[in-house]
Amino acid sequence: MFRHLIKLRTMASSTFRNDLEGEVIRSFLSLDSLDPNIFRASTEYLWHPYKSRFIFGGQVVGQALTAACNTVSPDHHVHSLHCYFLKGGNSNWPILYHVDRTRDGETYSSRSVKATQDGQAIFTMQCSFKTDETHVYQYQMEMPDVKGPENYLDAGEILKLRLDNDDISDKERDYINRTLAQEIPILIRPVDPETYYRRKTGPPVRLQWIKANGKIGDDNKLHQCVAAYMSDFSLLGTALQPGGPNYDIKFMTSLDHTIWFHNPFRIDEWMLYEAFSPQAGSGKALCLGRIWKQDGTLAMSVAQEGVIRNVPISKI
């Protein structure tokens, strides 16, 4: 089933035709196969978020992992990936993903992926795959104690309620309307909406329930690729919370991104994304994250460093 993701643009299966929501999600990761080791993302689905200079970094991570997954055996699943963003992606150019089959072993396999646009490298990724194995020694930290996702509003609903406030500025109203107009295949329910949207200052800690907006199917690799896409969404924003509304963003972009996959999960079911930023300074910020299943199982760990250049509002 997973290989249909590569063929989606030219040959959708009958299963996909009956799963329109799933097709919307797959469109953000679909690639054309040009060669056993070369894949292309067309400009049709490259997402350029409002107010961003570049295409969404998480989409590049998800597409690169999609390309790598299509070069390993069915019983090998990614357990870690390490990425560097070298140059901002342009939504007017297709992206080519070149996969180097570094090593194939019985338990572990390694892949290197380079993404290029107009002949220039914009992104690199090293990823490692392994087969399942059972071992008696295991442990994990405890999941944060928060209410379930049914107790919180979707991010879109929160923004719509904000439009009804009398104190909203024309600039914020325009930003909200443009944000709501974007088609994003993610549902987010922030635990603290006021801090999430920087309407108040708060510690660099963020808790939010997330899930894919649609059914994905049962292929574990596809859930991992969609989760990689989603893991970059709003993570760096955690470092903005101590400044709150007192600072204006002059420039912000990701430098690197790392994911460790611990346990199987379904990204089309609600998961808790716990993020925190231990340090910011010298124009950079480090953000760490853990993604939990509702039963308390730790599914993923995430780390990212990014450029953040803020200025106090009074100095603009």
Task: Note the maximum CA span of the chain.
Answer: 63
- Token pair, residue 160, equals 């719509």
In the predicted model, what is the mean pLDDT of residues 226-241?
95
Nearest of 238, 134, 236 to residue 191 by alpha carbon: 238
In the predicted model, what is the mean pLDDT of residues 79-103?
97
> Catalytic: which of 109, 254, 277, 301?
254
Comparing 298 with 45, the larger pLDDT belongs to: 298
- Token pair, residue 176, equals 């909200």
Q: Packing angle between helix 220-231 and helix 57-69, nearest 10 degrees? A: 160
Residue 52 — pLDDT band, cuts 50, 70, 90?
Answer: confident
**109 given a catalytic annotation:** no
State the pLDDT at residue 274.
98
pLDDT at position 315 over 70 = no
In the predicted model, what is the mean pLDDT of residues 35-43?
96
State the pLDDT at residue 123.
98
pLDDT at position 259 over 90 = yes
- Token pair, residue 60, equals 């590049």
pLDDT at position 20 over 60 = no
Residue 208 — pLDDT band, cuts 50, 70, 90?
Answer: very high
Fill in the DSSP letter of residue 149: G
Answer yes or no: are the C-beta atoms of 72 and 221 closer than 8 Å. no
pLDDT at position 12 over 60 = no
> Catalytic: which of 59, 231, 232, 277?
232
Residue type, 21: E
d(CA 300, CA 77): 13
**27 given a catalytic annotation:** no
Residue 8 — pLDDT band, cuts 50, 70, 90?
Answer: very low
142-159 burial: b if 16+ Cβ within 10 Å, else e: ebeeeeebeebeebeebb
Backbone phi, then psi, for 309, in 5-degree steps?
A: -125, 105
Reported as a single tens digit per residue, the pLDDT across 147-186 is 999 999 998 888 888 888 777 888 888 877 877 777 778 9
Q: List, in order of start, the domains of the chain with CATH numbers.
A: 4-131+147-315 (2.40.160.210)
- Span of 89-98, 121-130, 152-161 with lowest mean pLDDT: 152-161
pLDDT at position 99 over 60 = yes
pLDDT at position 22 over 50 = yes
State the pLDDT at residue 13.
30
**232 given a catalytic annotation:** yes
Q: What is the pTM of this model?
A: 0.91
Residue type, 194: E
